[in-house]
Structure 1
Amino acid sequence: MILELVDIRIQAGKQQEFDIAIVKGLQQVISKARGYKGHQVNKGIETPERYVLMIYWETLENHTVDFRQSPAFQEWRAIVGPYFAVPPTVEHFNLLEKT
């Protein structure tokens, strides 16, 4: 399983709207993607415009090819993209240890 870690910074004062948009995008788009295994969204306390999104994929290619190169990616970005202050930082991880 692959972890996609997304560091999102949104425009100030848009948290309530973004909360609705990200949940909608995850439920309507991401969760239906090939290889999707689950997700978690965390909101910043000290920095309320910062969100950390974790999406679990079966394989790296499920994210980088199957999703990113599909029309669903454009649909996802249309839902959440208008709130971004800067482009999100995206990295992928393999699990080393789980307790």
Structure 2
Amino acid sequence: MILEHADIRIAPGQQAAFEEAIQRGLKTVITRAQGFRGAKVQRGIEQPERYLLLIEWDTLEDHTVGFRQSPLFAEWRAIVGPFFAAPPVVEHFQLGVDVPV
């Protein structure tokens, strides 16, 4: 499993509209991508225009090739892209340590 971490900055005052758009984009677009496992969106406390999008993929290629190089990516960006104050910073992670609760 690969974790995509996207650090997103949006324009001030757009939180409610962005949250509706990202939820819609996740439900209608991302869920159709091969290798998609699940997603979470975290809202910044100190910086309310900052969001972390965390998406689990089966493989790195499911995100970087299967999704990013497909028509789904254009659909996704059409929904959420207008809210971006700057391009998101995207990184990928794999499990290092797991501590069950």
Mark yes or no: TM-score above 0.5.
yes
What is the rounded CA distance, in whole Å, between the counterparts of 1:90 and 1:7 in structure 2?
6
Q: TM-score, normalised by structure 2?
A: 0.97
Distance, in Å, in 2 between the alignment partners of 1:48 and 1:57 is: 27
Could you tell me the percent identity over the aligned residues?
61
Is the partner of 2:76 in helix, strand or coil? helix
Structure 1 stretches of 5 or more lacking a match?
A: none
Superposed CA deviations along residues 45-85 of structure 1, whole A, max 9, x for unmatched, are 11000000100000000000000000000000000000000
TM-score scaled by length of structure 1: 0.99
Aligned equivalent of 1:52: 52
Gaps of 5+ in 2: none
Cα RMSD after superposing both structures: 0.5
Cα separation, 2, equivalents of 1:31 and 1:59: 15
Amino acid at match of 2:70: S
Give, in whole Å, the separation in 1 of the partners of 2:26 and 2:69. Answer: 17
State the Cα distance separating 1:31 from its structure 2 match.
1.2
Partner residue, 1:12: 12
Find runs of 4+ consecutive structure 1 residues off by over 6 angstroms. none
Q: Residue 3 of structure 1 aligns with which residue?
A: 3
Quote how far apart the aligned CAs of 1:97 are: 1.1
